[in-house]
Amino acid sequence: MGMSERDPSPSDSVRRDVLERAARTMLIITTITTVLLVSVVGWRVATANSEPARAAVQPATPSPLPSPSPTHDPSRLLVGIVAGHSGSDSGAVCPDGLTEASINLTVAQMVIDDLRRDGVDAILLQEFDPRLRGLKADALVSVHADSCNIPGATGFKVARVTDSAIPQAEDSLVQCIIQAYSDETGLPLHPASVTDDMTQYHAFYEVAPTTPGAIIETGFMLDDRNLLGKHPQTVARGIERGIQCFLKGASGE
Ligand SMILES: [Zn+2]
């Protein structure tokens, strides 16, 4: 008992030793914690900095909308022609490999050439062309052809969107094309097979509501193959004359 009171030094030194060790341990823990915190914060800051950098690049990727026609003279009429399925898929395919997309593109390109020859600014559009969005034109016509697997089916059909904002103009465009196409090609109208694919055609909802639109199925790839494959110029002329009939009627109003 008395020993501890008389000679406190051994227990004092032990306590000092313990305290020193504790202090050293605390210092080590504090150092490790600080190093960890600094690295975590540093990593966070680095990540936070790189994230907006990547985000800032992102919006630039969808290219700005190209103007409908770089050469479009506002005093001239502007017509958009969609080559059905182009840039997207083949469309209908015949057993021998003839594709609807190739027929459509040949015809659409000829319609463009005919329109330009007649002084109309015309632009050739792909099926899902970004230039369709908000397109303000005097007419938009999409060129398609019917399947290759219905023996005995012949004829063409023309349609406009079901819930038209400009029904008079669009009916006039449809009627003009039906008349001219029938006159030019001699094909019968095949109205019974007008489908939702035509009356709810996607491009009708993409262009400006003031742009009159129509879609034509130029014929059946099996029974009307001779016309579609061998006489694309006749097919194109029918469409172009129909568009001209509409444009003249519209400008005369
Ligand atoms: Zn098609």
Residue 162's domain spans which residues? 78-252
Read off the CATH number of the domain in which 128 is found: 3.40.630.40
Question: Residue 170 pLDDT more than 70?
Answer: yes
Asked whether residue 48 falls in the same domain as residue 82, the answer is no
pTM (2 d.p.):
0.72
Residue 72 lies in a domain: no
Asked whether residue 25 falls in the same domain as residue 117, the answer is no
Distance 149 CA to ligand 1 centre (A): 14
Residue 73 lies in a domain: no
Residue 184 lies in a domain: yes
Distance 53 CA to ligand 1 centre (A): 42
What 3-state DSSP class applies to 108? Answer: helix
Asked whether residue 56 falls in the same domain as residue 88, the answer is no
Strands (E), 43-198: 78-83, 121-125, 139-146, 157-159
Distance 146 CA to ligand 1 centre (A): 7
Distance 127 CA to ligand 1 centre (A): 9
Residue 191 confidence class, pLDDT cut points 50, 70, 90:
confident
Q: Structurally, how many domains does the chain consist of?
A: 2
Distance 99 CA to ligand 1 centre (A): 10
Residue 46 lies in a domain: yes
Q: What residues sit around ligand 1, an ion, with C-beta below 5 angstroms? A: 84, 91, 144
Residue 143 lies in a domain: yes
pLDDT computed for residue 186 by the predictor: 98
| AA identity, residue 241 | R
Segment 83-109 mean pLDDT: 98
Residue 65 lies in a domain: no
Asked whether residue 167 falls in the same domain as residue 233, the answer is yes
Residue 67 lies in a domain: no
What does the alpha-carbon distance between residue 179 and residue 241 come to, in Å, rounded to a whole number? 9
Segment 92-100 mean pLDDT: 97
Residue 20 confidence class, pLDDT cut points 50, 70, 90:
confident
